Structure 1
Amino acid sequence: MSLKRAERLLPVVQMAEREEQDAARALARSQEQLRQGEVKLGELQRYRHDYQQQWLQQGSQGVSGQWLMNYQRFLSQLEVAIGQQQRSIDWLRENQQRARDLWQQKHVRLEGLRKLVQRYRDEARQAEDRREQRLLDELAQRLNQRDTP
């Protein structure tokens, strides 16, 4: 009886496995997107640093008012880009956490279903063992009854 219950659950387990695998792939994608976003932020920050170093070098030699205005305008645009990228990373981190939470839920569900199937199989095996033992006991009893006068 329990073995049939276990077999009936196999399609549910397979569906749960697919859902868990899909969630794992989504988690991997979100991790990669976050990694790429962090790389881009790092590049923007390095570019800002390099641009500021250029200002220090150029500024020590004297600069025109036009150069200074262009520098400030570009630096301002760079700061905006860095801020936007930081907000993007914050969103990507939240997205990654949601993907991780979903994967964990799917994983826990899958493991629970696997344990349930295993329990049903164990129960079926134990029931079969008990049935075989009863048959052996009955056979031994019959043989014993035939041998005694």
Structure 2
Amino acid sequence: MANSRAARLTPVVDMAEKAERTAAQRLGHFQGQVRLSETKLAELDRYREDYQAQWHTYGSKGVSGQWLMNYQRFLNQLETAVAQQKQSLAWHQKNLDNARVTWQQAYARVEGLRKLVQRYIDEARQLEDKREQKLLDELSQRLPRQSSF
């Protein structure tokens, strides 16, 4: 009886495992997106620092007004790109956090179902053991007793 309960749960466990695998894949995807976004932000930061270093190099020698305007315009564009990349990173991090919660819930569901199935299997084994013991007890009582004279 309990074994049949465990067997009936097999499709449910399979579906839960599939959902957990899908959630794990999504989690991995979003981890990759966060890493990629972090890398792009770091590159933009390095590029901005290098570009700002040009001011120290060329500024000390004297620059034209046109050069300074172009420098400021491009530096503003870099600042905008950095701010946008930070927003993108925050968005990807939020997706990652949500995916992590979803995966944790799916994992907990699978583990709970596996424990339930194992409990049903254990109960079936115990019932079968009791049934066998009862049968053996009945058989031993029916056997003629041999007296020792």
Q: TM-score, normalised by structure 1?
A: 0.97
State the SS of the aligned residue for 1:104.
Answer: helix
| AA at the equivalent of 2:57 | Q
State the SS of the aligned residue for 2:121.
Answer: helix
Deviations, residues 39-69 of structure 1 (Å, cap 9, x unaligned)? 0000000000000001110001100000000
| AA at the equivalent of 2:43 | E
Match of 1:134 in 2: 134
How many residues were matched structurally? 147
- Residues 1:88 and 2:88 aligned together: yes
Task: Give the whole-Å Cα distance in 2 for the aligned partners of 1:8 and 1:41.
Answer: 51
Match of 1:31 in 2: 31
State the SS of the aligned residue for 1:30.
Answer: helix
Task: Give the whole-Å Cα distance in 1 for the aligned partners of 2:127 and 2:56.
Answer: 84
RMSD: 0.9
Gaps of 5+ in 2: none
CA deviation after TM superposition for structure 1 residue 17, in Å: 0.4
What does 1:35-50 align with in structure 2 at a 5 Å threshold? 35-50=35-50
Match of 1:147 in 2: 145
| AA at the equivalent of 1:46 | R
Task: Give the whole-Å Cα distance in 1 for the aligned partners of 2:55 and 2:25.
Answer: 45
Match of 1:51 in 2: 51
Match of 1:60 in 2: 60
Task: Give the whole-Å Cα distance in 2 for the aligned partners of 1:87 and 1:94.
Answer: 11
CA deviation after TM superposition for structure 1 residue 30, in Å: 0.1
Deviations, residues 100-142 of structure 1 (Å, cap 9, x unaligned)? 0000000000000000000000000000000000000001111
Deviations, residues 10-35 of structure 1 (Å, cap 9, x unaligned)? 01001100000000000000000000
Deviations, residues 65-89 of structure 1 (Å, cap 9, x unaligned)? 0000000000000000000000110
More helix by share: 1
Gaps of 5+ in 1: none
